[in-house]
Amino acid sequence: MQPSDLLASVNPFDAYRSGPYFCELTRDRDDGGAAARVRSRIAAIGLDALRARAAAAENDLINLGITFTIYSDSTAIDRILPFDCIPRILTAAEWRQIEAGVKQRVTALNAFLHDIYHARHITNDGVVPADLVYGNANYRPEMEQFPVRFGTYVHICGTDIVRDEHGRFLVLEDNARTPSGVSYVVENRHLMSRAFPDILAGMRLHPVDDYGRRLLSAMCEIAPEGVDDPQVVLLSPGIYNSAYFEHVFLAREMGVPLVEGADLVVERDRVWMRTTSGLKPVHTIYRRIGDDFLDPTVFRPDSMLGVPGLIGAWRRGNVTLANAVGTGVADDKAIYAYMPRIIKYYLGEDAILPNVQTNICREKEGLAYTLANLDKLVVKPVGESGGYGITIGPRASAADIEIARVALVADPSNWVSQPVISLSVAPTLTEAGIQPRHLDLRPFAVTGRETWVLPGGLSRVAMKEGSLVVNSSQGGGSKDTWVLMDDETAPAGGLAGDMI
Amino acid sequence: MTRDTPLLARYAESLFWMARYLERIENLARLVDVTQTFESPGREAESWLAMIRINADEEGFTKTGLEVTAENVKRFYLLDRANPTGIPMSLENARTNARTLRPLISTEMWMQLNVFHRDMLAIREDELQGDRLSRLCSRIKEGVQAHTGITEGTFFRDQGWDFYTLGRLIERADQTTRLLDIRYHLLVPGGTEEKLLAELTQWGGVLRAAAGYHAFRRVAPPGFTPADVVNFLLRDGAFPRSVALCVEQMEMHLGQLRSRYGLRGTVAALERVEELRAGLLGRPIEKIIGDGLHDFLDGVQRDLILLAAEIGTAFFRDWRPLAEVPEPISSQSQMM
């Protein structure tokens, strides 16, 4: 035997140590042996072949333009979301909890939004402080007393979930504005089936390719009443937006036009799109631009991305916006702390997916506790996304902690803090072989009349050793996320390869 | 049950221009190839100067501050990313339009263009030298031809296809007139048998650049003259790069936009096409050449510009006032 043969025959999982963390692929679970099969298939492929095939798969992503754009120092760089070929597995039982928990949360978020924009029971009852809601920059007085169909404000929701060292699922945050990432859920499965059919073969998984059809159905349901065959469009900031690929993906999966602000025009309080045969009516807009940019006559006057008069047309009920205006108040990191109580208040239930314990620095005790424990806590700005401005106490330098302290004292209400969660890990292909890397999960829920949750979600992986930051803008990658079918409910003879 | 889907004006415009830019790239490669063929030892610069002239790039080239040499002109068209009429920027513009069109075009179209774009950005100086240049031109042509084939086989045939094809046909007709213009000065009547033979050799080069050499041989009269070559490239009814065939197909696609999709804005454009056809076919070729081929070709080019403007006014131009263009990170100039 040559030395290289000896190396090739070593099982790359033999040296794998997940440490004190919950491991998503090596911990014993009720998965019908799926994880063990994946491990042995990967071992059979061997590290070298795995690397070569992973590189080829990533090259496919570049060729296909499945990229996002990073802007820094006025240059634009197209990057792929690094793809890790070792899948993350959710068992049928785990998924039942997540699915029910996400539905519960979305229901509560919508009930909360309806309440604060109408009767204001929850603040009158003192469950959530009034100034936290009505003084919030994302609260929109324009929404007061405004009816939305089925009481749905958050039509598309992304719920960020992590797992602690015991494997307990915890919600880290809600994304109720314009959550992104769902395109990678679907594209990762496509990529997996093209590049690693031998890992997927025979696995009984929930398919992920129904998202576009479900989304379109919801968008049609929420169209203004009385419209039989609604015209849905996806409103994008355009080709220079970092998430443009996802906008393309969603428009294609729904089979609707991807429009930019300048393609739309408001006349007689109705929204029209400019086509080769003149103006055609538009009924539902899945908008991927923020509230502030929607209508320069109402919000930011310098916005070039929006449509003058859009809010007027919408207030007259001639067009539906998804998500509704003003949902940002519900996914604010300050409101997040109250979510378990909000769920209890509206649904009379305990949260199926618990929160991470959160200290609100606008409250005296919260601030004092945070300042006293800066070295142990994660400090996050309220209302930021993309992982910016976060200080992870146990890993920060003394200087960074001082910077955080100054920022906190200067504007306490802009901050919350949480204990460091020992995020779960999953085996990930790295230069140094198969290594544990931290990851989270963002399932996507679509709500029209009812809520549907795409099986699985986006598993974002911190590709750097020990890192807890999984955001794509900060070098995070992703994994194909499998939801195993229940043996009782799975259709007979279904092979993963057929269902993708 | 299928739905009748309207086409965004912006998509129609992008399809039209994506096709034009790609057609332009293919023809630039053909022009470079034929220009190199015509280089006469010691007087290379003359041939390359002709290439600048027929593309009306005198001003643009002067701005580079470079001397007209074979090297500089090749670089100007193949490497210079700041030259709006060169291959790199045309490809950049084609890709930007394709990016806009991603919701509409097939994944295969996008992927090929994306990869082609990357390959072309990697062209190195030494690929412009000697026999390598001709191979490079073939690669560029094949890149566009692959696009054309993938589009033919995968692109949905609704009105978008008509706008796409119109862009390609207008550009192709324009480029054929430019190819003809390279050699128009050879058409001075009279001269010896040797001179005629030398001229025919050169016209053979033009025909090869247009991929029409063998087709011409099949249909040409025995004892053909340069006028027959001009007639073939301008007016043949079956050669895909002949101006007249392009014009005939433009009429067909405009007619289809009107009859199948009810687009009434086609009336003015159809009138332009009618004028173009009358100008092309209304006189014997000897008369056209006798009155001056160069001026005639200029006239055809002007008519094509007017036709593109009519299509733009009817279907594209009203969709976005110029002042509203967002985020000019890489501004795109879609002008003649």
pLDDT of A60 over the 80 cut: yes
Nearest neighbour of A64 by CB, restricted to B12, B111, B327: B111
CB contact under 8 A, A239 and B10: no
pLDDT of A139 over the 60 cut: yes
Q: Which of A79-83, A242-246, B48-52: highest mean pLDDT? A: A242-246
A320-334, A347-361, A364-378, A462-476: lowest mean pLDDT where?
Answer: A462-476
> Which pLDDT does position B185 carry in this prediction?
64
> Which pLDDT does position B56 carry in this prediction?
86
Query: Is residue A293 within 8 angstroms of chain B, CB to CB?
Result: no
Contact residues, chain A, for B6 at CB < 8 Å: 273, 275-277, 280
**Nearest residue on chain A to B108, alpha-carbon basis:** A64
- Among A residues 60-119, those touching chain B with beta carbons less than 8 Å apart: 63-65, 76
To the nearest whole number, what is the mean pLDDT of chain A?
Answer: 91
Q: Residue B41: pLDDT band by 50, 70, 90 thresholds?
A: confident
> Which pLDDT does position B201 carry in this prediction?
84
Beta strands A433-442; A444-447: pairing state: unpaired
Q: Residue A74: pLDDT band by 50, 70, 90 thresholds?
A: low
Contact residues, chain A, for B5 at CB < 8 Å: 257
In this structure, what are the phi and psi dihedrals at residue B308, rounded to the nearest 5 degrees?
A: -60, -35
Q: Residue B89: enclosing H or E segment and its boundaries?
A: helix B87-100
- Give the C-alpha separation, A260 to A233, whole Å: 10
Q: Residue A238: pLDDT band by 50, 70, 90 thresholds?
A: very high
Between B333 and B334, the more confident residue is B334
CB contact under 8 A, A261 and B326: yes
pLDDT in tens, B137-154: 999 999 999 999 999 999
Peptide bond into B231 cis (omega under 30): no
Under 8 Å between Cβ of A189 and A45: no
**Mutate: best of A64, A247, A263, A276, partner B, most B CBs <10 A:** A276
Beta strands A258-259; A232-235: pairing state: parallel
Q: Residue A280: pLDDT band by 50, 70, 90 thresholds?
A: very high
- Give the C-alpha separation, B320 to A390, whole Å: 41
pLDDT of A422 over the 60 cut: yes
pLDDT of B166 over the 90 cut: yes
> Which pLDDT does position B15 carry in this prediction?
97
> Which pLDDT does position A137 carry in this prediction?
87
CB contact under 8 A, B100 and A248: no
pLDDT in tens, B79-115: 999 999 999 999 999 999 999 999 999 999 999 999 9
CB contact under 8 A, B159 and A240: no
Q: What amino acid is encoded at A420 in this protein?
A: V
Contact residues, chain B, for A229 at CB < 8 Å: 3
CB contact under 8 A, A263 and B6: no
Nearest neighbour of A273 by CB, restricted to B8, B110, B257: B8
pLDDT in tens, A400-419: 999 999 999 999 988 999 99
- Give the C-alpha separation, A20 to A320, whole Å: 48
Query: Is residue A251 within 8 angstroms of chain B, CB to CB?
Result: yes
Q: Give the tokens for residue A203.
A: 């696995």
Nearest neighbour of A277 by CB, restricted to B10, B114, B262: B262
Nearest neighbour of A304 by CB, restricted to B10, B100, B326: B326
Q: Residue A395: pLDDT band by 50, 70, 90 thresholds?
A: confident
Question: A129-139: buried (b, 16+ CB within 10 Å) or exposed (e) per residue?
Answer: beebbeebebb
For residue A80, list its beta bridge partners: A67
**Mutate: best of A61, A70, A275, partner B, most B CBs <10 A:** A275
Question: A268-279: buried (b, 16+ CB within 10 Å) or exposed (e) per residue?
Answer: eebbbbbbbbeb
Task: Count A/B contacts: CB-CB distance under 8 Å.
Answer: 83
CB contact under 8 A, A248 and B329: no
> Which pLDDT does position A494 carry in this prediction?
46
For residue A441, list its beta bridge partners: A161, A459
Beta strands A477-483; A83-90: pairing state: parallel
- Give the C-alpha separation, A82 to A84, whole Å: 7
Contact residues, chain A, for B319 at CB < 8 Å: 262-263, 274
**Residue range A46-58: mean pLDDT, rounded:** 94
Measured in angstroms, the CA of A241 and the nearest CA of chain B are apart by 10
Residues 6+ apart with CB under 8 A from A419: A356, A357, A376, A377, A378
Contact residues, chain B, for A240 at CB < 8 Å: 326-327, 329
**Residue range B296-315: mean pLDDT, rounded:** 93
Query: Is residue A289 within 8 angstroms of chain B, CB to CB?
Result: no
Query: Is residue B12 within 8 angstroms of chain A, CB to CB?
Result: yes
A373-387, A434-448, B71-85: lowest mean pLDDT where?
Answer: A373-387
- Among B residues 240-299, those touching chain A with beta carbons less than 8 Å apart: 257, 261-263, 265
In this structure, what are the phi and psi dihedrals at residue A71, rounded to the nearest 5 degrees?
A: -110, 120
Q: Residue A36: pLDDT band by 50, 70, 90 thresholds?
A: very high
pLDDT in tens, B219-257: 999 989 899 999 999 999 999 999 999 999 999 999 999
**Residue range B186-197: mean pLDDT, rounded:** 71
Helices and strands in chain A, H and E counts: 16, 22
Length of chain B: 336
> Which pLDDT does position B167 carry in this prediction?
97
Measured in angstroms, the CA of A4 and the nearest CA of chain B are apart by 35
pLDDT in tens, A93-110: 999 999 999 999 999 999
Contact residues, chain A, for B159 at CB < 8 Å: 276
Q: Residue A169: pLDDT band by 50, 70, 90 thresholds?
A: very high
Contact residues, chain B, for A274 at CB < 8 Å: 8-10, 318-319
Helices and strands in chain B, H and E counts: 14, 0
pLDDT of A500 over the 50 cut: no
> Which pLDDT does position B321 carry in this prediction?
35
Q: Give the tokens for residue A419.
A: 């204990």
Q: Residue B319: pLDDT band by 50, 70, 90 thresholds?
A: very low
pLDDT of B332 over the 70 cut: no
A39-48, A386-395, B137-146: lowest mean pLDDT where?
Answer: A386-395
Q: In degrees, to the nearest 5, what angle opens at C-alpha A469 toward C-alphas A468 and A474?
A: 150
Q: In degrees, to the nearest 5, what angle opens at C-alpha B256 toward C-alphas B334 and B168?
A: 30
Measured in angstroms, the CA of B111 and the nearest CA of chain A are apart by 5
